[in-house]
Structure 1
Amino acid sequence: MQSVVAAVTMVRDDAFFLKAWLRHYGEMLGRENCYIVNHGRGEEVATLAEGCNVIGIPGDPHPNFDMKRWRLLNGVVAGLRSYYKHVIVGDVDELVVLDPEEGRGLVDYLAEQPLRRVLTPLGLEVIHRIDLEEQAIEGQILGPRRHVRLAPHYSKPCVLSLGTKIARGGHFTQASKLFTPDPLYLFHLKFCDFGTYVEAMDRRNAVTEEIGVGVKEAAIGRHWFAEARGEDRALFEGFAALPMQEGFDLAWVRKRMKRSWKARGETGYWQFDRPEYDQQYLLPERFSGLF
């Protein structure tokens, strides 16, 4: 039974993404090392997460939802660090992946990494090319989906072996040194399937409508609000226009992250520049079937 790595997330109703999260972390770490905050105490979440450590909390809508969420996740991570060498924390649609070229699993890789660090995997967004990929997702995601776009916003400091505070949204910490290992990636799944995206956005729009305040009055991501949604099919059709890049060498992105590393004003947090890159890559075949 491994005690090197734990994974933590919070989820409400997102069964599609929870299933992917459980396939990835449950099989790799062991369900006994997975910690799931069940926001709203949903029965489906509890059933799917059987064998994991499930923490049920009230699901009352609140304008400061994201602030409260990360306050709780910070506390859970701080506590688990006393029992694990590394704790992975993030949204349920975010998965830390080790490049299969390493020839070993994530647990073995992290067991050899120095402690008292925060690791920042390179963010990649899995996109559904609806003009090319007709197969519906019925289990594994990588394989039916092979296209990704660079997502600096999702290069998150999410693998922790150091006591530090994580900012709301998980995008920044107070750790002053940047470690972004070459073989580590953070895959964001929000856009991996058109039908799932529509269903998820409908649920999130309903939550913000129930809260009854606007974007400026709420500590919730702007993307949860109907006014920021746009037209779903046009969004996915637009992925085809992203210029396709040759190969899969992303060392240049990590170099830019390191060059732009700096304090985030007077907040106590640290950051790198997060420009928008209008380009896409075809994932090498070795990634197919990872989750």
Structure 2
Amino acid sequence: MSSRSPLAIVTMTYNEGDLVSVWRRHYAAQVGDARCYVIDHGSTDGSVSDLGDVNVVRIPRSPQDDKMRGGFLSCFCASLLCWYDAVVYVDIDELLVADPARYNSLLSYAASVERDGIRTAIGFDVIHPSSEEPTMDWSRPVSEQRRWLRFSSAMCKPVLIRQPVSWAPGFHCIDAPPRFDNLYLFHLRYADRDAGLARLARTRTQPWKRHDAGMHQRMADDRWDAMLSGMAGLERRDDIVLGENDPALREWLARVMESAKSRTEELYKIDLHLSGDALWRLPDRFVGTF
């Protein structure tokens, strides 16, 4: 039996407002405050000032540099494996859920992963049809207010590690092929129109290491709004169950795995531009889990 703690959860933040509290509520319920680690990159909005027993690691503010972030967090998470059996890294707007039909928590899920294993989450953007659903109340579970998902290969991220890894910039890939099973990632970037535009106003004006970096976080409001409207207007399906027996999900995961075959020597091991052609209704068993 391991003398180490079972699981640590790590993120990084800079002036992310309500999302910090949402992240803490979700992951502290899984592992407790003391096993959550927030790397604060110079926040000035007060969002990390009252996080209880969450470990807040403060680093100096600097221009956004995803390559440096990836290197730092690869080393940081590897170091935590001295003290934990498994470590999860997720961005502040990413909520992980192990299939509730199989697991009662991320702790029980992590315990099922083999020694030295890694796991890739099955990734979805949570979509806000703003003409139908009200503005998000961040004090309540997201899944009780948003029910439409879009599959995204860019959100199919290697998030749980039981051995040191090196994440590529953006944390989309490591130096290994994806390994899927029963872990799901729900990305909140498009879960609320107003919050999304407010975040865009910040990321558009913050310093960046390279002038051509992060262009998707620096686009004009009208372009971002049109993109969200386009996603919200996709065909809708309410017959999706997720899990191993869902043919629609199997088809999209097969596309991701097929794309990996030609990318074994590349930094990004999968095609990051495979996006669902329909919105899928969140299955009832996930409601209330994030």
> By the TM > 0.5 criterion, same fold?
yes
Q: 1:132 to 1:2 in 2, by over 3 A?
A: farther
State whether structure 2 residue 80 is matched by structure 1 residue 83.
no
After TM superposition, the structure 1 = structure 2 runs for residues 86-235 of structure 1, keeping only pairs within 5 Å, are: 86-134=86-134, 136-139=136-139, 140-175=141-176, 177-181=177-181, 183-208=182-207, 211=208, 214-215=211-212, 220-226=213-219, 230-235=222-227
Q: Is contact 1:120-1:157 (8 Å) kept?
A: yes
Q: Determine the C-alpha separation between the residues in 1 that align with 2:72 and 2:82.
A: 17
**What residue is the counterpart of 2:41 in the other structure?**
39
Q: What's the offset of the Cα at 1:286?
A: 1.8
Residues 53-89 of structure 1, C-alpha deviations (whole Å, 9 max, x = no match): 11111113x2x62122112111111101121121111
Q: Determine the C-alpha separation between the residues in 2 that align with 1:154 and 1:206.
A: 25
Root mean square deviation, CA, Å: 2.3
Q: What's the offset of the Cα at 1:23?
A: 0.9
Q: Which has the higher helix share?
A: 1
Q: What's the offset of the Cα at 1:17?
A: 1.4
Q: Determine the C-alpha separation between the residues in 2 that align with 1:269 and 1:191.
A: 23
TM-score calculated relative to the size of structure 1: 0.87
Q: What SS is found at the alignment partner of 1:198?
A: helix
Moved more, 258-267 or 143-152: 258-267
Q: What's the offset of the Cα at 1:165?
A: 1.1
After TM superposition, the structure 1 = structure 2 runs for residues 21-36 of structure 1, keeping only pairs within 5 Å, are: 21-36=23-38
Moved more, 120-129 or 92-101: 92-101
Q: What SS is found at the alignment partner of 1:185?
A: strand
Moved more, 140-149 or 232-241: 232-241
Q: Determine the C-alpha separation between the residues in 2 that align with 1:269 and 1:131.
A: 36
Q: Is contact 1:117-1:179 (8 Å) kept?
A: no
Amino acid in the other structure paired with 2:236: M
> 5+ unaligned residues in a row in structure 1: which ranges?
none
Q: What's the offset of the Cα at 1:275?
A: 2.0
Amino acid in the other structure paired with 2:120: T
Q: What's the offset of the Cα at 1:268?
A: 6.2
Aligned residues: 280
State whether structure 2 residue 9 is matched by structure 1 residue 7.
yes
**What residue is the counterpart of 2:69 in the other structure?**
69
Amino acid in the other structure paired with 1:27: A
Q: Determine the C-alpha separation between the residues in 2 that align with 1:284 and 1:119.
A: 22
Q: Determine the C-alpha separation between the residues in 1 that align with 2:171 and 2:51.
A: 23
Residues 141-187 of structure 1, C-alpha deviations (whole Å, 9 max, x = no match): 11111111111111001111122211111011112x43201x21111
Residues 7-29 of structure 1, C-alpha deviations (whole Å, 9 max, x = no match): 11110110221111111111111
Q: Determine the C-alpha separation between the residues in 1 that align with 2:114 and 2:230.
A: 42
Q: Is contact 1:100-1:287 (8 Å) kept?
A: yes
Q: 1:2 to 1:148 in 2, by over 3 A?
A: farther
